[in-house]
Structure formats: structure tokens, C-alpha cells
Copies of this chain bind each other. A is one copy, B any other.
């Protein structure tokens, strides 16, 4: 029986899950893979926490560099996170000819071009299924199953924290701050939730998916990112009344010469499958010219679901090691020489539907002024509702537009905001819907 030796860097939540599966499911894995996966070392500075695992003597150590320099170790599982020490360890492991498995989307989205090139030069593999969508095999699906498709569009709910918060506001009507606090209490949000709620984590994932699907160089910087911290329960309520649900979506579309890549709160029709993805669940829809639309749905985070994806990657590499091969599938889905810089479309050029909420003083002619300014910018209104006065005495005017251009919308918003009769900054939420014209 062949053995594959694994070094685990970082034994936090997911790392602990990985260690558990490797130790407790070794018989199951052996019966499927035909090899023994040996967890040779686990490196973590925290030796005090009880992880519920009995490691054999000498397995648990403090020095991660010792693990990446150990000539016996075949696969390094990087579960430290962050972009500094994790990158240093990863580059050194690659230099040492070790294969890598990681869930570190922040690192790969920011430095992936360099990392994947180094890996390709050294002939080592990088598995990163766990970095997007937790347990869902979205990377494998794009890299392998959909290889005969021109992928044209991806839409995903890729951050469990945001989805949990938005779901609780939708279900109970609590304000954002309360929903965030509840998410923190339940362990669905970090003490500092910025990376999640401001959309950055989702953008990291979208950068990776876009690169894999379209054969483009990783480009995190040009992704438009807007988080959910300004979402008002009022808009969720209005959305619901109009048959929409608000989700933080990662949206990516490929026209052949440019890519739309944006993360923002989005209204989607309540009948859409993604609108029914609630709590901390994730889902992603991929549209290709042969498959039509395919949707994956599952836990996007958490100890065991994420560990499940890590194990899938470890086993993929182990199967290669047993046969003495590597680089069977290119890391970023396309052969390195076929990866191009594909420009990200400027946000100004995006065409979509919009939901607006204006807070207007109850004066004659306000609606006419707003509608006039929208008309001046070529923005055509599909529906308009004027609601009863709110607590501050202002009147909420809610509008949904036909397809409009982002630049025109932004110009119109600027002018509408400066009207005397407008009491508050207008609210703008983009809409994704196949059924609208």
C-alpha cells in the first residue's frame, strides 16, 4: 500500500476538520483511493486549545517552516489564512516541490498569478476547491466538467455571513445592526466582519471563478465591490412586496472581449432558485453554451463542509502521486500559455435594471422633478410607488427602471440628490432578472 504524507499548516476550525477526517476516515479513504494518507505533521502556534483530536507524539509542532522543508512530506495543506506568512510558506513549499492544498481565497485572488506560475514551473499542483463555496465542487465543475462549454455567466451567493444577515432581516424585519450581532453570537460572523459584509471575501471568490471560467489572468483590483452594510430593512420589505429578494451576489458575465465582474446587493425575483438559498448556505449558477444553466448548492463555510472540499483536493493530488504524475489539470483551468489579460468592463458601462428609493419632502411637483431628471438621462421607469410618510415626515418614492446604463443612472442620482425636496441620499439597488425587458 502506497503512502502519501501530508503536512498541515494551521489547525484552526477548518484545519481541525481536515485532521479529523484524515484520522477518523482513513479506512474509507483507503478503500476508495487505494493509498494511505498519513498526516505526518500539524503546525500551529496554539498548542493549548483542545481540538478533540489525539495526535500521536511528534505530530503536532509549532514550526510551520519545518513542515514545508521536510523532504518526506508530499502535500502541504495551508490553513493559516491571510496574505503574508501563508504566502511565504506556500512559495517555499512550491520551491521545495511540494503540492499545495489551500482554502486561502484572499491570497490566491491577490497573488494567484505569481503563485500559479511558480507552481506550473515547478510542476506542482495547487488544489483550492475549498476557497470558493465551501463544500460545493464549483472549481472542479468549471475546470473539469464544463470543459466543453463557453461559459458566459456566473451568479453566486458566496458569503454565508452576508446571506445569513440578509436572510434574517428578510425573515424577521430586524435592522442590519441587530442581524449582524445575532450572526456574531451564532458564530456566522467574525468579531471584525469587514471582509465579509463589505463584499471583499465575495470579490476574492469571484476573481478566482472568473479566471477559471474565461481563461483570464486573475484581476481582483478591477472588480466592483459594494457590501451590505447600508442595506435598510425598509428596502428588503419593499423588495418583498414587489416579488424580489435581496442577496449579496457575485456576478460575472463574459462577452468574448471583456468581463463584467461585480459584487453588490442585488434584487432577484423571488421565484429564482438563488432567492431561496437562505441562512449561511451558498449557491452558484453557471451558464454555458452547452449545459444551459447549472446550479450548485451547499454549505459555503464551516469546519466539516470546508474540510470535505480540502480532502477532495488532497485525494486528487494523492491519486496523481501514486501514478507519478502532476499538472494533469492546469491550476487556473487553461494552459498557462492560453491565459490572457481580459479587461474588466468599467462599472459605468454596465447595463441593468435598478431599484431606487427616494426620500422626498411632501411637496407638489417632486415626483415630476425626479421623473424628469431620470428621463433626461434616458432612464425609463417601469414601476413607481409612492408610499405613506415615514417617521421623519418624508415620503418614500420607490421606482424600478427598465434596462439603463450605470453611468446615466449615477449622473441622474447626483442631480436628484441635490434637489431641495430630497431629504436623504437616494437608495440604489441593482436588479438581476431574466424576465424583464
CA distance in complex: A404, B288 (Å): 45
Which of A295-303, A350-358, A418-426 lies at the interface with chain B? Answer: A295-303
Is A312 in contact with B273, judged by CB distance below 8 angstroms? no
Which of A68-76, A143-151, A178-186, A233-241 lies at the interface with chain B? Answer: A143-151
Tell yes or no: A83 within 8 A of B by CB.
Answer: no
Tell yes or no: A294 within 8 A of B by CB.
Answer: yes
Interface range on chain A (Cβ under 8 Å from partner): 35 or more
A214 nearest CB across to chain B (Å): 11
Tell yes or no: A21 within 8 A of B by CB.
Answer: yes
Given the interface pairs A148-B29, A304-B291, the reply to whether A296 lies near B299 with Cβ below 8 Å is: no
Tell yes or no: A9 within 8 A of B by CB.
Answer: no
Is B32 in contact with A215, judged by CB distance below 8 angstroms? yes
Q: Which of A144, A145, A307 has the most CB of B within 10 A?
A: A145
Which of A269-321 touch B at CB < 8 Å? 273, 276, 288-299, 302, 304-305, 307-309, 311-312, 315-316, 319-320
Given the interface pairs A140-B144, A145-B309, A148-B315, the reply to whether A135 lies near B294 with Cβ below 8 Å is: yes
> Nearest chain-B residue to A143 (Cβ)?
B32
> Nearest chain-B residue to A308 (Cβ)?
B290
CA distance in complex: A292, B17 (Å): 13
Given the interface pairs A32-B338, A135-B290, A304-B289, the reply to whether A148 lies near B323 with Cβ below 8 Å is: no
Is B34 in contact with A335, judged by CB distance below 8 angstroms? yes
A-B contact pairs, 19 of them (CB 8 A): A25-B150, A28-B150, A32-B334, A32-B335, A33-B147, A34-B330, A135-B292, A137-B137, A140-B141, A144-B312, A147-B311, A290-B305, A290-B311, A291-B308, A292-B298, A293-B298, A296-B296, A323-B325, A325-B325
Q: 5 extra interchain contacts, Cβ-Cβ under 8 A, other than A148-B308, A273-B273, A291-B308? A: A31-B215, A137-B141, A144-B316, A146-B308, A297-B297
